[in-house]
Amino acid sequence: MSLRILIIMLAVFISEVKAQKSSYTMQGDVGLLVGEQVLPVPGVQVFNGLKIDKWSSEAGITVGADIYRQLTILPVYASIRWLPLPEKNLIPYLSFSAGYGIAWLNRGSVEKDYRGGTVYNPSVGVRIKTKTKARLNFSAGFKHQRAAFTDRRFDELGREMSVVTDEYRFSRMSLSFGVGF
């Protein structure tokens, strides 16, 4: 768990540094993934992108971490945002991200194998300008993420006796708060 948190913090830090020095835009978010009959789980993500003033949009890459009970997924996806009223202090926006969730942070073995899967995350949000360069973001959306876990059982002579594969399809409401520059 501590390794997971360390890697997540590192990713956030690197992204922050990169965003400060150029015309790139970035946004770091923390949030919850909420579902029916399950406890909310935490998620973080960092968007690094480019402003496209002509279309009042931002496009870039989002990386993150979603810590489900069953496994931790690192989603890496392409993101696009549309901010139709950039001049306002309260800027509504639409966002859509789609990509692949990586399962590298889970400890695999000969017997246990984790695989990631597709992920997409449409959301709406508001951006609040502040007196500094920073801006605050609140968003709500829907996140669908796939992953799989395979458990192989062997007898005492190493013969494979059973294979159990669980294909997870997580469908959660995503609620997040973040800071961008």
Partner 1 sequence: MKVFGILLSFVFFLGLSSCKDEVITTRTYHKLTPFYLSVSDLRKQAISMDKPHELSAPGKIYVYGNYLFINEVTKGIHVIDNTDPASPRFLNFINIPGNIDLAINSNILYADSYVDLLAFDISNPININLAKRVENVFDNQYIDKARGLIQGYKDTVVTEVMSHEITDNLKGDFITFNDVSGAAAFASQSYGTGGSMARFTLMNNSLYTVTTNSLKLFNVSTPKDPLFVNTINLGGGIETIFPYQNKLFIGSTTGMHIYNATDPSKPVKLATYQHLTSCDPVIVQGKYAYVTLRSGNFCRLGTNVLDVIDIEDPTKPVLVSSFPMLNPHGLTISENNLFICEGKNGLKAFNSSDPKTIGQKQLSFLQNISASDVIAGPKSLIVTGPNGIYQYDYSNASNLKQLSHLDLIAR
Contact status: 34 vs partner 1 (CB under 8 A): yes
155 belongs to the binding site for partner 1 (CB under 8 A): yes
Sign of CA dihedral 44, 178, 52, 119: positive
The answer to whether 173 contacts partner 1 (rule: CB under 8 A) is yes
Helix or strand holding residue 123 (H, E): strand 117-129
**Binding to partner 1 by residue 87, rule CB under 8 A?**
no
Residue with tokens 């549309």: 82
Give me the least distance between CB of 159 and partner 1, in Å please: 4
Contacts by 158-161 with C-beta closer than 8 Å and gap 24+?
Answer: none
Q: Select from 1-9, 23-31, 49-57, 118-126 the region that touches partner 1 (CB under 8 A).
A: 118-126
Taking residues 44 to 83 in sequence order and writing x for each that binds partner 1 by CB under 8 A, - otherwise, the string is ------------------------xxx-------------
User: For residue 148, what are the contacts with CB-CB under 8 A and spacing of at least 6?
Assistant: 114, 115, 117, 165, 166, 167, 168
Q: One-letter amino acid identity for 8?
A: I
Helix (H) or strand (E) holding 10: helix 2-20
Is 121 an interacting residue with respect to partner 1 (CB under 8 A)? no
Please list every residue from 89 through 108 that binds partner 1, using CB under 8 A.
Answer: 92, 94
Q: H-helix or E-strand containing 4? A: helix 2-20
42 binds partner 1 (CB under 8 A): no
- Footprint on this chain of partner 1 (rule: CB under 8 A): 34-39, 68-70, 92, 94, 122-124, 126, 140-142, 149, 151, 153-159, 161-173
